[in-house]
Chains A and B, each alone.
Chain A
């Protein structure tokens, strides 16, 4: 089945630093999504990407959909303490995939982000 490899597994940074994390897949996705999960909560959608090569920003967050459709990147600029959490990438076959798996998300293992004040 499809597998996502997310890296790094964890990051320890100082407040104000920029952060980069990425996700690679063994197969193609038509949609990439990035989520953040705080302890004891469900994942919260940060950014959704629908087209190969697409670059999308949401405040200090920027994500890109790789040209090969097998990877995606998330950057966080000028990190702050509330950025602490686990970041997950997720791939989706999405519209046009047909069959029954169009909505199914395949998640990476997560990147644990710690920000020191």
Chain B
């Protein structure tokens, strides 16, 4: 079974530029998550989708971050304009509701450097 795919793997941009990340979840996983992981910390949830609807975006800086999941499969996360403090790894994860709970599986991440 293919895992969660993300692209690009690395991105370097200047502050105030815009950037977009793409995620393709595991086939059949209805729930998709975007996390931000700053160096030396654990991942922090930015936004959670159930199919193509947003169920939690309380931690998303909405003045500059946006995300969508058209057709309930692939998702894109955009930052516009980027700030220096946005330098981090952006992880996408997906999960399937099972009898016991939601086990999340992560993609390899996109490492963003803002200069």
Say whether A42 contacts B100, CB under 8 Å: no
Interface residue tally on A, bucketed by range = 20 to 34
Within 8 A of B (CB), among A1-45: 4, 6, 30-31, 33, 35, 40-45
Say whether A95 contacts B101, CB under 8 Å: yes
- Chain B contacts of A42 at CB under 8 A? 4, 91, 93, 106-109
Number of B residues near A (Cβ < 8 Å) is: 27
Question: With the chains together, A101 CA to B4 CA distance in Å?
Answer: 21
Say whether B106 contacts A109, CB under 8 Å: no
Say whether B43 contacts A43, CB under 8 Å: yes
Contact mask for chain A residues 62-89; partner B; CB cutoff 8 A; 1 contact, 0 none: 0000000000000000000000000010
A-B pair count, CB < 8 Å, reads 76
Report if A94-B42 is in contact (Cβ < 8 Å); known contacts: A41-B108, A42-B4, A43-B91: no
Question: With the chains together, A102 CA to B56 CA distance in Å?
Answer: 10
Report if A43-B106 is in contact (Cβ < 8 Å); known contacts: A48-B101, A50-B100, A104-B56: yes
Report if A88-B108 is in contact (Cβ < 8 Å); known contacts: A42-B4, A94-B102, A104-B56: no
Interface-central residue, A48, A104, A109, A110, by most chain B CB under 10 Å: A104
Interface of B is mostly: strand
CB distance from A96 to the nearest CB of B (A): 9
Report if A41-B104 is in contact (Cβ < 8 Å); known contacts: A88-B42, A103-B48, A108-B42: no
Interface-central residue, B41, B95, B101, by most chain A CB under 10 Å: B101
| 14 A-B pairs whose Cβ atoms sit less than 8 Å apart in the complex | A33-B103, A35-B106, A41-B108, A41-B109, A44-B106, A48-B101, A50-B101, A88-B42, A92-B101, A101-B56, A103-B33, A103-B102, A104-B48, A106-B45
Please list the residues of chain B having a beta carbon within 8 angstroms of any beta carbon in chain A. Answer: 4, 31, 33, 40-45, 48, 55-56, 91, 93, 95, 97, 100-109, 111
- Kindly list the 10 A-B residue pairs having the minimum CB-CB distance in the complex, ordered from nearest: A107-B42, A42-B106, A94-B101, A103-B102, A100-B55, A50-B100, A31-B101, A100-B56, A43-B106, A42-B109
Please list the residues of chain A having a beta carbon within 8 angstroms of any beta carbon in chain B. Answer: 4, 6, 30-31, 33, 35, 40-45, 48, 50, 88, 90, 92, 94-95, 100-110
